[in-house]
Structure 1
Amino acid sequence: MPGLLSSPVCLTVICFLSWSLRPGCAQIRTDEVSGVQYGHMQSNVTLACGKSQIGVPVAWHLNHSSALPRHRVTPDGALVLLHADLSAQGNYSCHDDRGLLLHSVILRLGHNPGLLSVSCQVPNHTHVRCSWTESVKTFLPAKYNASFRGTGQEWRPCVLDLAHKHCDVDHPAFWQTIHTLRITESNALGSETTSVRFRLHELLKPDPPESLLVEGLEGHPKRLIVSWKFPASWPLHDAFPLMFQIRYRPQGSVYWSEVFSEDGPVVIFDALAGHLHQVQLRARDEVNSDSQWSEWSPLFVVRPWEVSSTSESPEEQPEERFPDNFFPFSTKPEIATAKSHNSVHPEDEGNLGLVILLVLFSVVILTTVLSLIFVIW
């Protein structure tokens, strides 16, 4: 067997096989992949060709194509992309004059992060949610870090939700006057930190009341009963009372009447009989006068109670109705509500006139008697 391996024929075969496998081994040794390279958009981006030698010609490909964006090649084989834009992104590879792969890299282009636009919502005394939008579209994957603190307190994390670009803080120090939120955005090209300061008691804005229900009161064609539930996000105990504002109007009117209440249900006494009414409701922290009103609840449309047409005789039916665009109350909501509760009936006007006549008659009699007494004296 050793003699066979040392024979001229066997040695020739071994040499041939070694020579034929040499290119493959060379390709494996010189194939270098550096992963992902990041560059600034609209700038010149340089891609190195691995271990290429100066003066040795190389060929660059983009996504396996020899068509390249505007560029130049340096003497050491590096590719310089001139004022690269998004179309220049892709998988770049450089090859020697025999077509062997020398180097490959994935190019991603973008911008540095910029300052964020931050807004915070405080739906109750125990929760803060801050959201943000980017002022600069970076076109690159970003990481965020957020922290929150009150004046003189330690920084605490603001729990991130990257899918919706917001963060949450539970049980903030509401008694602190000023609070600060700090958000840092970073990507492969750099980072930027945004800080915002705000007052929680001024941002406090409850969610709208829920389950608004408005019904007519049987037997009373000018009354409506309004009921609702507290917002689900508001803590239900006496430490955090809410003030509610109800506004209502006949459908088609441009003027609202208003009623304020600390609890429900509430009865409206001056609805316009026979007309559809629009009713809405909102809430605000009763104790904190600097807090904000919630958004209005969705419109609720209702008609006051009406006598059934089958139970009315022709004589009982009214001879005329107000047109839809006529509403016999003041344009000021508070005054309109007050007037509707103190309206004067025709019977009251007659009684008032009789009283006035009796008073005048008494004054005349008294004056006459006093005059006689004075003359006699």
Structure 2
Amino acid sequence: MPGLLSGPVSLTVIFLLTWLIRRSCAQIWTDEVSDMQYGRLGANVTLACGKAKIRTPVVWHLNHSAALPWHQVTSDGSLVLHHVDHSAEGVYVCHDNQGLLLHSVRLRLGHPPGLLSISCQVPNHTHVRCSWVDSVKTFLPPQYIASFRNGQGWKPCVVDVIHKHCDIEDSTFWQPTHTLNVTEVNALGSQTTVVWLRLQELLKPDPPESLKVEEVESHPKRLSISWKHPSSWPRRDAFPLIFQIRYRPKGSEYWSDVYSEDSSIVIFDALAGHVHQVQVRARDEVNSDTQWSEWTPVSLARTWQVSTTPDPPEEPPPPEYIFPFNPDPETSTMRTHSESTLLIG
């Protein structure tokens, strides 16, 4: 019994099925199966057409376009891109001479990491935060590995990749020097930056908080000034702060200042009748090698003034009420009684 399909019809069906399978595979591979390859900007980059060597001619495309950067196709089907720049990034696909998709790869370009510029902030005796800035713009996603060494060995520095800093808790301040290692890693390589730190010299409190300046009633040359310790300075008894307060009449070029170990003072030499500018900053009281905090924002206040509002005029006293003559009833009765007695007698 002859087959259902034979001759030219069978060949046509087989050809169509093969074409549809190739189209389907090409669509799936192009959209869903793509290796990632990284290359260095300005260098030559070679893209292989799959892992196996291809002896048949192949055709390469970039982002579904026939246009390619300056390139060369080798005998094994690899694509060599010369002196690549960012225009060479994208999805590359290679086909055989019949249009069958052989391989796809996404190319991303950049640079290996360079040394970092690192700075550290020490807001109190138990916390160190170190931040860094890249010296090389890599154009590639980084990873950072950070560690901190004191006299007791290495400790991890907890990294925030987005904000490019790391935090160390419970550092050992009595050691003379500390070492920080930060390694940046990307797909093209790695680079370690090492810095040596003297935490005592880096200790810089945050500014005082809640600065308040008020007049002192009946004292036109005094101002009452108060503030709070920085909230990041929790151990006040173990690590006391000293405060510097500066003040001046608004518009003056010259500041007066005073120091205090307490969180409030009264100044006695303010300029009467003027608005004054006041700021406060703090420093570790025990170690003079530490740094002053930043100044608080300026707070404004006017000294006390005698009220200039005139007193209201005194009201005249109410007029005295004059009662009409009304003899005492008892006296009148008695007089009447006496008069009656005299008349009867």
TM-score (normalizing by structure 2): 0.83
Equivalent residue number for residue 302 of structure 1: 301
Larger Rg, first or second structure (1 or 2): 2
Equivalent residue number for residue 53 of structure 1: 54
The 8 Å contact of residues 146 and 167 in structure 1, kept in 2 or not, is answered as: yes
C-alpha distance 70-80 of structure 1, shift in aligned 2 (>3 A) = same
Higher helix share: 1
In structure 1, C-alpha distance between the alignment counterparts of 2:311 and 2:43, rounded to whole Å: 86
Deviations 1:128-148 (A, max 9, x none): 111111111111111111111
The 8 Å contact of residues 229 and 263 in structure 2, kept in 1 or not, is answered as: no
- Equivalent residue letter for 1:126: T
Alignment of 1:1-377 (within 5 A): 7-10=1-4, 12=6, 16=11, 18=14, 20-23=16-19, 28=25, 33=33, 35-50=35-50, 51=52, 53-54=54-55, 56-151=56-151, 153-311=152-310
Report deviation, 1:311.
5.0
- Equivalent residue letter for 2:2: P
- Equivalent residue letter for 2:209: E
Deviations 1:163-182 (A, max 9, x none): 21111111111111111111
SS, match of residue 87 in structure 2: helix
C-alpha distance 184-295 of structure 1, shift in aligned 2 (>3 A) = same
Moved runs in structure 1, 4+ residues, more than 6 A?
A: none
- Equivalent residue letter for 1:21: L
C-alpha distance 62-80 of structure 1, shift in aligned 2 (>3 A) = same
Deviations 1:11-48 (A, max 9, x none): 7389645554345566759x695610111100111111
The 8 Å contact of residues 161 and 167 in structure 1, kept in 2 or not, is answered as: yes
SS, match of residue 10 in structure 1: coil
Equivalent residue number for residue 316 of structure 2: none
Equivalent residue number for residue 369 of structure 1: none
Report deviation, 1:266.
0.6
Gaps of 5+ in 1: 1-6, 314-377
Deviations 1:270-316 (A, max 9, x none): 11111111110000000011100000000011110111111589xxx
Report deviation, 1:57.
2.8
- Equivalent residue letter for 1:8: P
The 8 Å contact of residues 180 and 194 in structure 2, kept in 1 or not, is answered as: yes
SS, match of residue 133 in structure 1: strand
Report deviation, 1:221.
0.7
SS, match of residue 309 in structure 2: helix
Report deviation, 1:239.
1.0
- Equivalent residue letter for 2:70: R
In structure 1, C-alpha distance between the alignment counterparts of 2:235 and 2:111, rounded to whole Å: 48
- The alignment's C-alpha RMSD in Å is 2.3
- Equivalent residue letter for 1:12: S
Deviations 1:42-69 (A, max 9, x none): 0111111224633x33221110001111
In structure 2, C-alpha distance between the alignment counterparts of 1:312 and 1:180, rounded to whole Å: 73
Report deviation, 1:9.
2.4
Higher strand share: 2
In structure 2, C-alpha distance between the alignment counterparts of 1:159 and 1:53, rounded to whole Å: 48
Identity of aligned residues (%): 64
In structure 1, C-alpha distance between the alignment counterparts of 2:235 and 2:53, rounded to whole Å: 73
**Range with bigger deviation, 45-54 or 282-291:** 45-54
The 8 Å contact of residues 52 and 102 in structure 1, kept in 2 or not, is answered as: no
In structure 2, C-alpha distance between the alignment counterparts of 1:188 and 1:37, rounded to whole Å: 9
Report deviation, 1:195.
0.9
**Residues matched between the structures, number:** 305
